[in-house]
Chains A and B, each alone.
Chain A
Amino acid sequence: MTTSLVDAESVLAVDLGSVLTRVLLFDTVDGQYRFIASGVAPSTAGAPYSDIGEGINQALYQLQEVTGRVLVDPEGRLIMPAQPDGSGLDRLTIVFSAGPELRVVTVGLLEDVSLESANRLVEMTYGQVVEQIGINDRRRPEVQVDAILQARPDLVLLAGGADRGATRSVAKMVELITLALQTTLPEQRPDILYAGNQVLAKRLKEVLSKLTTVHLAPNIRPSIDLEELEPASEVLAQVIGKVRSSQVGGLEGLGKISTTPLIPAAQAFGRMIGYLSKIYDPQKGVLGVDLGQTYSTIAAGVGGQTALRTFPLGMGAGIQSTLADLKIEDVSRWLPVPIGDDVLRDYLWQRSLRPGMVPVTVEALAMEQAAARHILTLMMQGLQTRWPDLHNAFEPILAAGSVLSQWSSPGQSLLTILDGLQPVGITTVLLDAYGLLGSLGSISSHNALMPVQVLESNAFINLGTVICPLSEGRYGTPLLKVRIEYESGEETQLEVRQGMLTALPIRNGQTARIHFSPLRRVVIDPNRKDRIRSFKVVGGLCGAVIDTRGRPLVLPRDAARRRDMIRKWQTALGGSVV
């Protein structure tokens, strides 16, 4: 039975990353849930510790120092529930990305229907499709069996057949899986996740559970033209939690005292974005990006529906995947300083050897930011490839990841996000500097109140409102007259030209009304059919920004001119690194 957290006073969230372990404390202040503080320590999931416990302890000690609150008893155990003397906590929730990638064999019927959906389901989490077999696979059955065995999967994901649709074809694939399972030692058999024709689910479980553990999920293709991944992704999240518990030392024990099931941080992140999209303007939708060290996640929520993809891309070990298919010019074009391609390639490879490395020099920081822009671009393109109907006019955009939040100025973070994602319309860019989104997503299924109240409590950093009008005007053409009307009654006017990045003089937290007078044909907000000419904004750390650089953003071919332009943009947002 689901336990409500509504009456709970305090929640500890543990976020087990591949590089860092975070502990986050939430509690009620004046009857409202608030994020109190966090503790961070290097992850100890890998060698030589091979147990998450030490990393969690270190992070907890830091959290205790910051808050002055005792959370751990003298034996090193979490104090649960909270005690009358103020020590301890009431609830525990855990998300993870640490641990080896889940190796998945997908088995389906039609390659571009159920097999495609199965692959998409795996892309929602920290999984890698190591083999796929469809009904039209031309390989002989024994070769298919060999392929499954050689792939050494942790999980076989079987999909296929609309509900009350194909059964014989699914049965044929079950036979294939049975052969592969029988050929594998019992202790090495992968779990099976079935997300196909529900008519067969019970019988299939009876047959295959004699050989291994079988998990049933709702059909991901209930009909040929309908794909429903989210219900199955919830089951997949729990399966991954179970598999990871056996792979990551200390996770199983911690999972037993957790209030919520162990789920991958990516899916918790997606859940939170979907949840927020119910609260914000359902027409616009919410976009979330989490730029991690080993994996990165992007999620778009529209009216409660979530499009989620996780990529094996990141600023640490994940950069090796980026480098595998990389044209180095795709990264170097974002550099504001002249750095050779060989130096850039060396730096990125070096970064993969030492995922947590902090850039010390201006050049190193410039290379990190260039790589971050490229990864964000790849993620956005990947999301839109999978969901071609998705627009790029979201409100708000939430960005997470230590790479984005550690930089020296908010302007650098905002510019990186704008360059990488290239949003259109009017949006607010929020930075999740403490990495709260995944943990709130994990909690959200049990406590609907906490994420909303925490979000409203300024736990996220408002980088600014960004207005990205679209026009076909030439570079430098006058585009808009902007009048800023402050609450004090004072006004400022300025003219905005095509191809510029303009920071409006609005201070952090200051409220103002912006009035636009177009000087030529311009689309300010495609979501509102361009009727908008006046709206209220609250300034963020970068105030409010008008980005008239066009979409897609085209950089000058000449390297010197390009670098000059990037430096101008950095200066415009007060975030120049050189």
Chain B
Amino acid sequence: MVAPVNHILPVALIRRQRSLPLPGKVLVRMGQKVNATDPVAEAQLPGQHALFNIRRLLGGGRGGDQADRFIEVKVGARLMKGDVIAEAGGLFPRIVRAPANGQVVAIVSGQVLLEMEPRIEQIYAGLNGTVTETTPDLGCTIEASGALIQGVWGNGQAGLGLLLALAKEPLDEVTRASLDVSMRGAVVLGGYCNKVDAIEAGNELPLRGLILGSMSADLIPAARAARYPIVLTEGFGPIPMNSAAFKLLSTSERRDLCVNAIYDPVKGERPEIIIPLPATGQLPMELISFKPGQMVHIWGAPYAGKIGTLLQVRPGLSALPNGVRAAAADVRLENNEPVVVPLANLDVIE
């Protein structure tokens, strides 16, 4: 059976594609070293438009036939502020001029549509690494070596900084009082957060990132508004950070790391933390099936956030403590306790 994968790897070769939503310009070249916050490609998004109804402004009949004769520009023409768009001759010529720099993008029925200066949208590297491939007009592929920890929710921001471990245990709470000025500019490792003022304190310091096991769902609006990346490894409610992620992060204190808190389940984009390392690892497996011996991570009470070893996938359906019947597996937790967990609640740690 297809198994969801959760990457928690001390060393891996990390390959990430960065693509524009529409064709644009790639700003990097093959072999170039990039930092997480470097822009790697940019696209011009349509600017605002101005419509000039020439037939109304200068006359020219209902169908716009005559108005077309007054129009002095063609589709694609680039205009500077003050350039003539249309002109009706006569003793006192009437002229329609461009109000700003722009490009004529359409002429329909005596109407001219001018697109003003386009907006620029940039995409960023998201990790420190090397550009290994460029796709003309669209983006690039970046490779890096390092530790990789995937999260389950992020607030959409990205950043990098030095890791400071605030949490000594996987469920230690982050509060405003626990964040002090010594953490300014750092990425902070916490356990659980359920106070809005702690998120706000992160803005004030400012933090470069906050890695949590979990937080209260009440904090989602504040976290989304935060100006620094916030990643959750477990989700919402007081769930302790899984031991594999906590161990890897807490032993990496004072290392630089990249926090990419992107979260787009439709595109399958998950937040991730990358700790750059000189060692070269293997590309992690993305496609995997459940097999005995795998290390698994558990979702949902009563074992939320726990890690164990998959002993066997049970045949058929198994009855759970609440009477629900589901496809399940036998799992031995780290404390050697054997438990039955629905397959739907398991990730393979790879």
Contact = CB atoms under 8 A, between A and B. Distances in A.
Interface of A: 41-42, 44, 46-50, 54-55, 58, 100, 140-142, 145-146, 149, 175, 178-179, 182-185, 188, 317, 342-343, 345-350, 353-354, 356-365, 406-409, 577
A46 B265 CA distance: 8
A314 to B, nearest CB: 13
Contacts of A362: 321-322
A41 B327 CA distance: 11
Nearest to B239: A350
A577 B216 CA distance: 26
19 contacts: A42-B2, A48-B5, A54-B287, A145-B113, A146-B46, A179-B108, A183-B46, A183-B106, A188-B22, A345-B217, A347-B236, A350-B237, A353-B153, A353-B235, A354-B345, A360-B303, A360-B324, A362-B322, A406-B325
B322 A360 contact: yes
Contacts of A343: 237
A178 B106 contact: yes
B268 interface: yes
Nearest to B215: A346
A299 B300 CA distance: 33
Contact of B320 (A342, A345, A360): A360
Given A140-B51, A362-B321, 14 more contacts: A46-B268, A142-B113, A146-B48, A179-B51, A179-B111, A343-B237, A349-B220, A350-B236, A354-B152, A354-B300, A357-B299, A358-B342, A360-B322, A363-B301
A34 to B, nearest CB: 22
Q: How large is the interface on B (under 10, 10 to 19, 20 to 34, 35 or more residues)?
A: 35 or more
Interface string B46-67: 1011110100000000000000
A358 B324 contact: yes
B115 to A, nearest CB: 6
Given A358-B324, A359-B300, A142 B49 contact: yes
B350 to A, nearest CB: 11
Interface of B: 1-2, 4-5, 22-23, 46, 48-51, 53, 75, 105-106, 108-109, 111, 113, 115, 152-153, 216-218, 220, 235-237, 265-269, 286-287, 299-303, 319-326, 341-342, 344-345
A524 to B, nearest CB: 34
A409 B344 contact: no
Q: Which 3 pairs from chain A and chain B are nearest by CB?
A: A47-B268, A408-B323, A346-B237
Nearest to B217: A349
Pick the most buried of A42, A188, A359, A363: most chain B CB atoms within 10 A of its CB: A359
A353 B150 CA distance: 14
Contact of A48 (B49, B153, B286): B286
Contacts of A354: 152, 235, 299-300, 345
B237, B287, B322, most chain A CB atoms within 10 A = B322
Contact of A58 (B1, B237, B269, B319): B1
Contacts of B75: 182
A267 B190 CA distance: 47
A8 to B, nearest CB: 31
